[in-house]
């Protein structure tokens, strides 16, 4: 096999055209382009799907436009609590972290959990102790400070609400809600699938809330027999639906195509319980689906046999 495929997302939600400036749209498109090209570079040079999804997600974690890594939103206490997970479809190995702070690239720490520990999921202070042993890159609070995120927190506290990621206060007032998660899925030339997801969670979140992003089977899943999935949406509903694994299940046990499985989960099962958002998916033949039931999803896809596609709206 010599073909490869990769897809990424930078969050889904109610993304309103009337409040999207040309400059902001260009910035998002450029950020998506840089991330997917970073992943594709790995794939077209014979690298692994795992490395490709990691590097694509790292690119978005380093960009303050996205609610992950540097652009992570603030909790009620004014901190960043980040979550991430990664999964290898070849052997079903996986790694995840949740509730971590001051880690520049949570997705790389999740990968270290998968590769260099006997565990799958580490949280909080224990995850940070592991990060120190792994010589992970830490950054101080100033690195993660983005004024837009501070404005969102201030606004959320005024109403004592817990908000999904909003790209700016004026957009929030205009009704935009964006599910701020980033993710990547890939198929490499060796026939292996991988998926990765990273997030800063919800603005003004309390009690150590964790969404679907770091949960294997809910926000992230990869299996060479079926597909690789990364989700973005209202995490509680995606957890309750076991969304990522559900797509794989429909393919494995009901023999649905990737497209039909994604449509069933995103446009039927999730909608029935009020689950808004979407997912990106690749099957073991290299087919790509970018499926969402919200007004938009920051997304991109590329393969060895197709041109680059970047989209925001439906």
Give me 274's structure tokens. Answer: 């009020």
Identify the DSSP state of 137.
Answer: P
Distance (Å, rounded) from C-alpha 73 to C-alpha 216? 22
Contact yes or no for 57/196 (Cβ under 8 A): yes
Distance (Å, rounded) from C-alpha 215 to C-alpha 266? 18
The predicted structure's pLDDT at residue 177 = 62
**CATH number of the structural domain spanning residue 10:** 3.60.20.30
3-state secondary structure at position 206: coil
Sheet (strand 277-283) strand order: 220-222, 227-233, 277-283, 288-292
Give the chain's domain count.
Answer: 1
Contact yes or no for 266/247 (Cβ under 8 A): no
Selection from 82, 40, 27 nearest residue 197 by Cα:
82
End-to-end CA distance of the chain: 33
Tell me the catalytic residues. Answer: 181
Note the helical H segments in the chain.
22-44, 49-61, 106-116, 124-133, 147-159, 169-173, 235-241, 243-253, 258-264, 270-272
Distance (Å, rounded) from C-alpha 261 to C-alpha 97? 28
The rounded average pLDDT for each run of 10 residues, N- to C-terminus, in the chain (314 residues) is 92 80 93 98 98 98 96 91 98 98 98 98 98 98 89 78 49 56 98 98 89 98 98 95 98 98 98 96 98 95 98 92
> pTM to 2 decimals?
0.94
> Which domain range does residue 116 map to?
5-204+213-313
């Amino acid at each position: 096999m010599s073909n490869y495929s990769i897809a990424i997302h930078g969050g889904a939600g109610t993304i309103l055209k009337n409040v999207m400036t040309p400059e902001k749209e260009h910035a998002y498109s450029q950020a998506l382009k840089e991330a997917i090209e970073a992943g594709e570079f790995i794939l077209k040079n014979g690298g692994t799907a795992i490395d490709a999804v990691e590097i694509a997600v790292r690119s978005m974690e380093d960009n303050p436009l996205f609610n992950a890594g540097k652009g992570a939103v603030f909790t009620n206490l004014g901190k960043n609590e980040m979550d991430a997970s990664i999964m290898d479809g070849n052997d079903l190995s996986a790694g995840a972290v949740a509730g971590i702070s001051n880690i520049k690239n949570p997705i790389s720490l999740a990968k270290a959990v998968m590769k260099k520990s006997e565990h799958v999921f580490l949280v909080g202070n224990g995850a940070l102790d592991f990060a120190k042993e792994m010589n992970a890159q830490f950054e101080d609070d100033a690195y993660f400070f983005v004024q837009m995120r501070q404005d969102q927190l201030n606004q959320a506290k005024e109403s004592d609400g817990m908000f999904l990621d909003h790209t700016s206060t004026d957009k929030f007032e205009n009704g935009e809600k964006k599910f701020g998660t980033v993710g990547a899925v890939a198929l490499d030339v060796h026939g292996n699938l991988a998926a990765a997801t990273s997030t800063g969670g919800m603005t003004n979140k309390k009690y150590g809330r964790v969404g679907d992003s770091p949960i294997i089977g809910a926000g992230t899943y990869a299996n060479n027999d079926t597909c690789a999935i990364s989700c973005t949406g209202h995490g509680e509903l995606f957890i309750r639906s076991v969304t990522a694994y559900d797509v794989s299940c429909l393919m494995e046990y009901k023999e649905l195509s990737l497209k039909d499985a994604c449509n069933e989960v995103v446009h039927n099962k999730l909608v029935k319980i009020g689950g808004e958002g979407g997912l990106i998916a690749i099957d073991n033949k290299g087919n790509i689906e970018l499926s969402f039931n919200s007004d938009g999803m920051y997304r991109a896809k590329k393969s060895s046999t197709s041109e680059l596609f970047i989209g925001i709206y439906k």
